[in-house]
Structure 1
Amino acid sequence: MARWFGRSRSRGNDKAGDAAEHEHLEPLGVSDDLRLAYGRTGDPKLLRGSIQAAELALEVYPVTDVRHAAALSSLCMLHRLSWERDHGTADLIKAIDYGRQAVDKSPPGDPELPRHMSSLATALQEAYDRTEDEESIDEAIALYRGCLDLLPTGGGTGQGEERVGQESNLANSLLRKGRKSGDSAILNEAAEHARAALRDTPDGHPMHAVRLVNLGGVLLGLVQNGHPEHIGEAEDMYTQGLRELPAGHPASAGVRQTLAMILGLRIQFGI
């Protein structure tokens, strides 16, 4: 799942904005800081404050300013975070609405457009997980594909890392669609993108273990869809991912359960 916990590149777009940010008055900067603090602490007051600051940014910046679209995109992400916390349907609806506005109102050449698209796609994926509405996952897939079209290839830069993240996001969306439809072609495409994301994530990177597990999940989906030849690699990915996850990581228990399930599938398939 995509989560942009870094600072928005739209902060301080002009000298006046830079000066205001320096004085901790620039509303997008305040929203970013509160969101980052919420990510560290989980304090809902910080999340509410971040939403209020992003709402103020909508009033401060005209539609022609790239920071207006950035504020809309921030509200998409913030309401999605609120949805993840409290599971209020209204928050998910707002997240999708703000995300669509951010994409629609992003001016030509806006370097933040891939982030806006990704934020909307993630909200749509959340909606699909709740409703299994096929249009939501199809739109999310199209948006993640669009992100890859816009982002440059090659690693070593911030945009390169973003591209790897979008490869992983697209793989996860395709996995959802492929599992539901039972379409092996979609699952194979998901595996291609998951492999690309893992290949371009260096050893020791904080996301390396997660991307091992993500590839294992896609391969397991193929196994469950009638392709048991992938079971060995799926098991290897989960085993290595579990080894790399930090002690006490919340995903560890689920990975262990999946490894136990793979053992059961081996018995079932006689392999």
Structure 2
Amino acid sequence: MARWFGRSKSKSNEQRAVEAEFENLEPLGVSDDLRQAYGRTGDPKLLRGSLQAAELALEVYPVTDIRHAAALSSLCMLHRLCWERERGSADLIKSVDYGRQAVDKSLPGDPVLPRHMSSLATALQEVYDSTKDEESIDEAIALYRGCLDIMPVRATGLNEERVAQESNLANSLLRKGRTNNDGAILNEAAKHARAALRDTPDDHPMHAMRLINLGGALLGLVQTGHHEHMSTAEDMYTRGLRELPAGHPVRAGVEQTLAIIKGLRSQFGV
């Protein structure tokens, strides 16, 4: 771990022993562990360490190793997390650049190519959110569609990654549909949001968010004049709010949206 956390000029034998042990670890695994720890704690030192470990992995694995593309994809995700934390435009640019490289350099038959595509799509979605650049959201939508095209469909059991991509596609379509006030796009967003909700067990940690996502797509349709979706949109938000744990960061937004729906009900007499 010394190679990505830096070397001090003066170390005890114990410190050197610990560093030697970490030098033998798989850097992508170290990066992933640190990223997950960052997700639990929000400690920026862990995020920096995860970045440095992923950078090391990029040096260690040649382009003929599928882990090279995985390292690029990790850097895409990590720079996006840095962007979300610091809002530095350089991080978002790097995120998209690493994401493109990960997709371009994935070897034929790479089983985790959909993850690389999804990571790039999420970065492009962030670009759209900050710039409203239509090409970015169109590319994100195409990438999420591509993920679903190449991911296997299981006959039984929950396919977590496929359901996640279905939800991601719904959210990208919702963004584009709302901006353009396009009912056809919003209908497609609702279709994918329904599919994601249908395949998410009631006790799944993402169930509440999938309810809210479908509510968002239906509310978008309401706002384009399709008032017949008002009751279902309200129900989705109400159920989602009920399932969200106390203190969840989106609770306030959901409560505000429910107030908007009540206002729309009063306005249109629905």
- The corresponding residue for 1:12 is none
Amino acid at match of 1:40: R
User: 1:25, CA displacement in angstroms?
Assistant: 1.6
- The corresponding residue for 1:121 is 121
- The corresponding residue for 1:141 is 141
Structural mapping, 1:115-264, within 5 Å:
115-154=115-154, 156=157, 160-264=159-263
User: 1:228, CA displacement in angstroms?
Assistant: 0.9
Q: How many residues align?
A: 250
User: 1:123, CA displacement in angstroms?
Assistant: 0.2
Q: Report the more deviating stretch, 245-254 or 102-111.
A: 245-254
- The corresponding residue for 1:84 is 84
- The corresponding residue for 1:11 is none
Change (3 A) 1:64 1:21: farther
CA distance in 1, matches of 2:27, 2:239: 43
CA distance in 2, matches of 1:217, 1:193: 12
- Report if the CA contact (8 A) 1:24-1:30 is conserved: no
RMSD across aligned positions (CA): 1.4
Gaps of 5+ in 1: 1-19
Change (3 A) 1:212 1:24: farther
Amino acid at match of 1:124: L
CA distance in 2, matches of 1:193, 1:156: 19
SS in 1 for 2:114: helix
TM-score normalized by structure 2?
0.90
Structure of greater Rg: 2
Deviations 1:160-210 (A, max 9, x none): 110000000000000011111111111000000000000000111100000
Change (3 A) 1:94 1:23: closer
- The corresponding residue for 2:26 is 26
CA distance in 1, matches of 2:21, 2:95: 26
Amino acid at match of 1:52: Q
User: 1:21, CA displacement in angstroms?
Assistant: 10
Amino acid at match of 1:79: H
- Report if the CA contact (8 A) 1:178-1:184 is conserved: yes
Gaps of 5+ in 2: 1-19
Structural mapping, 1:29-40, within 5 Å:
29-40=29-40
TM-score normalized by structure 1?
0.90
Change (3 A) 1:21 1:136: farther
> What's the % identity of the aligned pairs?
82
Q: Report the more deviating stretch, 88-97 or 22-31.
A: 22-31
Structural mapping, 1:7-18, within 5 Å:
none
Amino acid at match of 2:90: A
